[in-house]
A and B are shown apart, each in its own frame.
Chain A
């Protein structure tokens, strides 16, 4: 789960990470009041949860009230990667001397938490990582929840050769990692971490992502989600315990298991079709799930045929068959259904469906061929 920059900044403040003064404005008069309070120049930052904000014109500097008003109205009317701007963050413009990169995240290969930092901050950091990997420094936590000061000096000296910066930077990194561990983050990033001409360090941006699996232990965080960034069909699917992602094609599909669902999309494509969605009904056998899945898929009017591909393990094929019958009763299904059932209670399922004039296939290839043909 992602949260907006201004909410991430609130968490930075809570953990004592220095940030530039300022707060969120929803209209021009609020923006002007904030600017008067913190003093010009100020930076306006569109609050959107998509990348490329700066390039889209979502970040502007204002030296006075006139500029602030003009920029505010301009940013407020932007549409960044399909999203309108509801809130704009107004912060004091920092007198930046140098920018650094820093982030705490998970290294899946090393099975460990890592702090990454570089004296080359800013938007080109990924380029730097490729062209000059020696400029990226990494500190591994070795399973501990805090920085081990015994192993720390080589890292901090590499990122901050200036000894006067090492202590304040260490404090920021300690606080950033505290935040990371306390809130089960998957990412806590400061890019850039800046030093101003007085030699003070500030987080000039804040990005925090949380581990969805751990949200149950952070009830205060769950409410920070911006529902605007959630596809309504996907939200509805999640509420029904289904995993759903909308796609561009016209062949709908319902599959059990994420791996088999991905493979099904690949084979639809391989045999000349275009999938309309990814939908994993998960491991349970509840017939209601099939009904809900069909209802969500049918909301997409592009869909011309639907494949139900089930490999019964925990999922029992006869439960799926009952779900299909129930769905036919309760829903208007204007497109053909192609059903492939194999595994646990396959025979019972095929019998139930045959009695109701629904043909089934045993192999994935046959079923996909049929559903693709029907969508043409």
Chain B
């Protein structure tokens, strides 16, 4: 098993006629993902690498039974693309696009809460269930099927972690890139919960970074609910300090968003936190033996 995507995923690509959308549609198809449709308003009727293009998501979904959408459209159009997917009843939407205004995300979150759609991203690398399906921009070949679930707020740092696992013959059940924006569709806790319920996942890697308080919230959840071993890495110990925003940030959240504070809270929740991604494989080899 795996989480969120597998061989039954029927993917629709928004922005398929664009440079990035087209390139990655082809890469995903090569990996074995069932890419069933593309959507670009005004370009319905064409096809890209044999994938039929539709004008609207509703039409594409009706004809192709697509259940998952991935978005590569420019930031200006991403809000409308996400809202169109939600109203068409997509199960899962992955927004790769970066640079969405925060207030667009506030609006999207409100609509999401009234729907059954799950959003991953924006500004994320997507997700992969190795050997089954890949939805996003990650290099497929560094992954291998197995039993470690990977969750991350980062892109290339996730590849670094996965690469180290694969080099040591440790496969992955699913790898999910949540995205680095302040407001995102899905956070650590929701994916930790899915990995807990997935019998194939035996251990979890959580890759966090400075800023926000998602790691603190995840730590609380891990302490209470997660019985599988979790290994963590938090990037940004050395990062230049962020510029402050008035007093409001400090008033709204008293949480310390530094790497040190996040590492401490995760350790207290039973997470093994490493200093370098290449230390992760040895820990699983020991824990899962």
A interface, CB within 8 angstroms of B: 51, 101, 103, 105-109, 111-114, 116, 125-126, 129-130, 136, 138, 142-143, 181, 184, 186-187, 189, 191, 207, 209, 211, 213-214, 216-217, 245, 247, 255-260, 262-263, 265-270, 275, 278, 283, 311-314, 342-344, 363-365
Docked CA distance A108–B257 (Å): 12
Instruction: Rank and list the top 9 A-B pairs by shortest CB-CB distance, nearest first.
Output: A259-B154, A143-B110, A257-B156, A259-B157, A214-B101, A262-B235, A260-B156, A105-B248, A111-B109
Interface of A is mostly: mixed
A208 and chain B: residue at smallest CB distance: B246
Docked CA distance A210–B211 (Å): 18
8 contacts between A and B (CB under 8 A): A129-B250, A258-B154, A259-B156, A269-B238, A278-B239, A311-B163, A343-B139, A364-B278
Q: Is B42 interfacial (CB 8 A cutoff)?
A: no
Most chain A CB neighbours (cut-off 10 Å) among B105, B183, B207: B183
Within 8 A of A (CB), among B149-167: 152-160, 163
Docked CA distance A258–B123 (Å): 12
Chain B residues with a Cβ closer than 8 Å to the other chain, count: 62
B interface, CB within 8 angstroms of A: 20, 75-76, 99-107, 109-111, 125, 137-139, 142, 152-160, 163, 180, 182-183, 207, 209-210, 212-213, 217, 233, 235-240, 244-254, 259, 275-278
**By the criterion CB–CB under 8 Å, are A129 and B183 in contact?**
no
Q: What is the distance, in angstroms, from A48's C-beta to the closest C-beta of chain B?
A: 14
Chain B residues in 8 Å Cβ range of A213: 75, 99-102
Supposing A245-B240, A363-B278 touch, asked if A263 and B235 sit within 8 A by C-beta, the answer is: yes
Residue from B180, B207, B254, B259 in contact with A258 in the complex, judged by beta carbons closer than 8 Å: B180
Residue from A126, A265, A269, A313 in contact with B138 in the complex, judged by beta carbons closer than 8 Å: A313
A107 and chain B: residue at smallest CB distance: B252
**By the criterion CB–CB under 8 Å, are A343 and B248 in contact?**
no
B238 and chain A: residue at smallest CB distance: A265
**By the criterion CB–CB under 8 Å, are A278 and B276 in contact?**
no
Residue from A245, A257, A269, A270 in contact with B154 in the complex, judged by beta carbons closer than 8 Å: A257
A106 and chain B: residue at smallest CB distance: B102
Known: A187-B248, A216-B76, A267-B276. 4 other contacts (CB 8 A): A189-B247, A259-B158, A260-B156, A344-B139
**By the criterion CB–CB under 8 Å, are B254 and A129 in contact?**
yes
Docked CA distance A92–B153 (Å): 48
Chain A residues in 8 Å Cβ range of B102: 106, 184, 186, 211, 213-214
Supposing A129-B251, A213-B99, A262-B239 touch, asked if A111 and B157 sit within 8 A by C-beta, the answer is: no
Residue from A51, A257, A262, A267 in contact with B244 in the complex, judged by beta carbons closer than 8 Å: A51
Supposing A112-B106, A116-B252, A247-B240 touch, asked if A260 and B76 sit within 8 A by C-beta, the answer is: no
Docked CA distance A256–B233 (Å): 18
**By the criterion CB–CB under 8 Å, are B163 and A263 in contact?**
no
Residue from B104, B248, B259 in contact with A103 in the complex, judged by beta carbons closer than 8 Å: B248
**By the criterion CB–CB under 8 Å, are B245 and A186 in contact?**
yes
**By the criterion CB–CB under 8 Å, are B159 and A343 in contact?**
yes
Chain B residues in 8 Å Cβ range of A255: 156
B163 and chain A: residue at smallest CB distance: A342
A365 and chain B: residue at smallest CB distance: B278
Q: What is the distance, in angstroms, from B139's C-beta to the closest C-beta of chain A?
A: 5
Q: What is the distance, in angstroms, from A235's C-beta to the closest C-beta of chain B?
A: 15
**By the criterion CB–CB under 8 Å, are B235 and A108 in contact?**
no
Chain B residues in 8 Å Cβ range of A186: 102, 245
B23 and chain A: residue at smallest CB distance: A314
Residue from B106, B153, B210 in contact with A113 in the complex, judged by beta carbons closer than 8 Å: B106
**By the criterion CB–CB under 8 Å, are A313 and B213 in contact?**
no
**By the criterion CB–CB under 8 Å, are A184 and B251 in contact?**
no
Q: What is the distance, in angstroms, from B219's C-beta to the closest C-beta of chain A?
A: 14
Docked CA distance A143–B275 (Å): 40
Q: What is the distance, in angstroms, from B210's C-beta to the closest C-beta of chain A?
A: 7
Docked CA distance A130–B250 (Å): 9
**By the criterion CB–CB under 8 Å, are B251 and A126 in contact?**
yes
Q: What is the distance, in angstroms, from B197's C-beta to the closest C-beta of chain A?
A: 24
**By the criterion CB–CB under 8 Å, are A263 and B277 in contact?**
yes
Residue from A111, A126, A207, A266 in contact with B235 in the complex, judged by beta carbons closer than 8 Å: A266
**By the criterion CB–CB under 8 Å, are A259 and B210 in contact?**
no
Docked CA distance A207–B159 (Å): 40
Chain B residues in 8 Å Cβ range of A263: 157, 160, 233, 235, 277
Supposing A116-B252, A129-B254, A313-B137 touch, asked if A187 and B106 sit within 8 A by C-beta, the answer is: no
Residue from A114, A129, A211, A364 in contact with B101 in the complex, judged by beta carbons closer than 8 Å: A211
Chain B residues in 8 Å Cβ range of A126: 247, 250-251
Chain A residues in 8 Å Cβ range of B109: 111-112, 143
